[in-house]
Amino acid sequence: MTEREHSDRPVRLLLVDDEAHFRDAIARRLEKRGFTVSKAPDGGTALEILEKDPIDVVVTDVKMPGMDGIELLGRIKDLHPEIEVLLLTGHAALDDGVAGIKAGAFDYLTKPIELEQLAGKIRHAHDKILREEEKRREAEFRRQVEEQMIVTERLASLGTLSTGMAHEINNPLAIIKESAGWLSMILDKPEMADMPRRSDFRKGLEKITDGVERARRITHQLLGGVQKRSETIVDVDLKDLAAESTELVAREAANKGVEIVHQIEPDARRIRTDPYALRQALINLVNNAVQATQSGTVAIAARRAGGAIEIQVRDTGPGIPAEYRKKIFEPFFTTKDPGKGTGLGLYVTRNILEKLGGGIEVESSVGKGTTFTISLPVAEPTGADGRNKRNPR
Amino acid sequence: MVKIPIRVLVVDDEKDFVEMLSLRLNESGQKVVQAFNGKECLDILEKDGVDVVVLDLKMPGMDGIEVLKEIKQRFPLVEVVMLTGHGTAETAVEGMKLGAYDYLLKPADFEELLGKLEAARNRKESQEERIRRAEAKLMVRRSGGLS
Ligand SMILES: Nc1ncnc2c1ncn2[C@@H]1O[C@H](COP(=O)(O)OP(=O)(O)OP(=O)(O)O)[C@@H](O)[C@H]1O
Ligand SMILES: [Mg+2]
Ligand SMILES: [Mg+2]
C-alpha cells in the first residue's frame, strides 16, 4: 500500500554535470518522462541542494573540475546514505565505473548515454530506495511491537505480584485494625475516664488506625474494589457520566481557578459499557488532570471514531517528561508525596479499560499539557459474557 | 431502646483475627462464637442458635464457598456475610448467587460490618416470622377441617 503511494510520486532527481548544454538537454528529456529534475554544475552546489531539498536519486558525471563524481559519491554516501547515485563515465573510463560501484554507486553508464537506459536505471535505483524504506519501516514497527510487548508483560507480572501481595497483606491489616478498634472502644468506657496518660493512648491508636486506613486504600484499590453485581453492561449516557466524573473535583478545580469543560459530541453520547468501571477510570484521569494543573483548563471530550468512541481528558498542566511517560501506568509509580498519591490511579484505569475491551494512550508535551485518550467499542456485541471470558481470574 | 444482641459466628483460619474481631463485637454488645475452619462452623450451627455467620473465603480444608453452600443447604435461615482478604469480583458474585447476604473485603470498616450484621439478622427474623405465620395458618386450616 505504501509502496504504491510512493511509486506514484515522481522520482526526484539531481543531475550533476559541468557541461551546461548536456545537463539541460538531459534534464529536459527526463522531465518529459515524468521525473522531477534539479540541476547542479558541480559537486559543491550538488551538496548544497541535497542539504535543503528532498532528492531520491543523484545522477552525476565523473569527470568534473574540482570535486569529481567519485568524491561527490563518497560525500553523498556519508551525508545522505539513503540516496542512490548513478555515475556517468567517459567512453574509455571503465575503471571509473568499477571504482564507483565499489564506493557505493548504484550503477554507472558510459557516455554517450542512451536516455531509455538511463531512465530505466533511475527507476531501478528508486525501486531499491523504496525497498530499503519499507525494510526500515518494518524494522521500526517490529521494534515498537517488541517494546510494547516488554512493557505489557512487565505490567502483567507486576500486576499479578501486587494483587497477590494485596491479598496477603489484607489479613494482617485486618488484625491490626480490629485490635486498634477494640482498644479504642475500651478507652471510651466510663471506667477508663481516669486512666493515666489516656490521651497518649488515644493518640497512638489514632495513628495506627490512620496508617491502616492508608494501607487499606492501597490494597483495596489494587484489587479494584469488590463488585457484587455480575450484570453491569448497560446503555450509558456519556454526558451524564462525564458530569458525574467531574463532580468530585469541581470544588478543588474552582478553588485553583481551573476551568472544567465538557465537549461530548452528540453522536458519541451513547455507549454500551459498565458505567461504574468507566466512571472510575474517568475520575482517576480527571483527578490527575486537576491535581497537575495550576490554572487553565481541564477538558473531557468524546467523539465518534468509526466503531469506537474516543474519550479524551486534556489538561493545560505541566505535562509529563518523556522518561516518566513509559512508567506512569505501572503500579506504584507516583511523583506525589507519600500518603498523597498511591501511584495506582493509572494502573487501575488501564486495567479497567482493558476489561471493557478498550485501551488508553497518553500524549504529553512538557510545559503545555497532557492528553489521555481512551478508546472503547461503541457496543459490546458479546455482552457481559464475552467480558467475563476475557478475564478469567 | 435496648438493642437485641446479634448472635454472630466468626469463621476464619486466622486465629488472631477471629479473636480480635470477636472481642470487638462482644464489646459492642453482640453475642459471639468462634470457629477456625468449616467443619467447626457447621458443628456449631448444629447445636447453637446463630443469626449471622461471618465467613472467611480462603481457609485450608473446606473452602469458604463450600462452607457457604453447606450452610445454605442445611441451615437455610442462617445469614452469611462473607469477609475475606482474598476478594475477587468472581468470588463475590458467586457468593452472592449462593445466597450470601453480603460481601466485604478485609480490612473492613467496623461500622459497616455491624450495619450489615444487623440488616442480615433482621432479614432472618422477618423470614422466620413469615414461616411462623404460614405454619399457624396451616394449623388453623387443619383444625378447622377436623371440627
Ligand atoms: N494529567 C497529568 N499531568 C501530569 N502528570 C500526570 C498526569 N497524570 C498522571 N501524571 C503523573 O503520573 C503519575 C502516576 O499517576 P497515577 O494516577 O497512577 O498515580 P497518582 O496520581 O500519583 O496517585 P493516586 O492516583 O493514588 O492519587 C503521577 O504521580 C504524575 O506524576
Ligand atoms: Mg492519580
Ligand atoms: Mg483465610
Tens of pLDDT along chain B (147 residues)? 568 999 999 999 999 999 999 999 999 999 999 999 999 999 999 999 999 999 999 999 999 999 999 999 999 999 999 999 987 777 888 999 999 999 999 999 999 999 999 999 999 999 999 999 999 988 888 776 554
Question: Which of B17, B103, B105 faces A223 most closely, judged by CB atoms?
Answer: B105
* Chain A CB within 8 Å of residue B105 CB: yes
Q: What is the distance of C-alpha A24 from the center of its chain?
A: 48
Measured in Å, residue B8 CA sits from the centre of ligand 3 at: 18
Q: Please name which ligand lies nearest the alpha carbon of B57.
A: 3
For A129-138, what is the mean pLDDT? 93
Which strands, in side-by-side order, build the sheet including A369-377? A258-264, A296-305, A308-315, A369-377, A359-365
Amino acid at residue number A305:
A
Amino acid at residue number A320:
I
Q: Please name which ligand lies nearest the alpha carbon of A313.
A: 1
DSSP B14: -
How many angstroms separate the CA of residue A170 from the nearest CA in chain B? 5
Nearest CA to ligand 1 atom 25: A345
Distances (CA, A) of B131 to B52, B70, B138: 18, 21, 10
Q: Residue A381: its pLDDT value, please?
A: 44
Asked if B85 and A393 come within 8 Å (Cβ–Cβ), the reply is no
Q: Within the 78-97 window of chain B, which residues sit less than 8 Å (CB to CB) from chain A?
A: 85-90, 92-93, 96-97
Q: Under DSSP, is residue A226 helix (H, G, I), strand (E, B) or coil?
A: coil
Q: Under DSSP, is residue A25 helix (H, G, I), strand (E, B) or coil?
A: helix
Residues of A in contact with B90 (CB under 8 A): 393
Q: What confidence category does residue A8 fall into, taking pLDDT thresholds of 50, 70 and 90?
A: low
Summarize pLDDT for A218-277 with one digit per residue, the tens.
898 888 755 656 657 889 999 999 999 999 899 999 999 999 999 999 999 999 999 988
DSSP A18: S
Asked if B24 and A178 come within 8 Å (Cβ–Cβ), the reply is yes
On whether the CB atoms of residues A359 and A375 are closer than 8 A, the answer is yes
Residue carrying C-alpha cell 445469614: B79
The phi and psi torsions of A302 (rounded to 5 degrees) equal -140, 140
The Cα B81–Cα B116 span in angstroms is 8
Residues of A in contact with B93 (CB under 8 A): 227-230
How many angstroms separate the CA of residue A340 from the nearest CA in chain B? 21
**Angle, helices B110-146/A115-187, rounded to nearest 10 degrees:** 70
For A270-285, what is the mean pLDDT? 92
The Cα A24–Cα A27 span in angstroms is 5
End-to-end CA distance of chain A: give it in Å, rounded: 41
The phi and psi torsions of B83 (rounded to 5 degrees) equal -140, 110
User: Domain B7-142: what homologous superfamily?
Assistant: Response regulator (3.40.50.2300)
Instruction: Give ∠ CA B7-B9-B11 in degrees, rounded to 5.
Output: 165
Asked if A171 and B110 come within 8 Å (Cβ–Cβ), the reply is no
Give the contacts of A143 (CB within 8 A, at least 6 positions apart).
none
Ligand 1 lined by A320 (C-beta under 6 Å):
yes
| pLDDT of residue A339 exceeding 60 | yes
Q: Which helix (H) or strand (E) holds A99?
A: helix A94-102
Q: What confidence category does residue A393 fall into, taking pLDDT thresholds of 50, 70 and 90?
A: very low
Residue carrying C-alpha cell 473485603: B105
Which residue in A has a C-alpha nearest to residue B13's C-alpha?
Answer: A171
Q: Exposure of A328 by Cβ count < 10 A (0-12 exposed, 13-18 middle, 19+ buried)?
A: buried
**Angle, helices A43-52/A69-79, rounded to nearest 10 degrees:** 20
Residues of B in contact with A177 (CB under 8 A): 107, 110
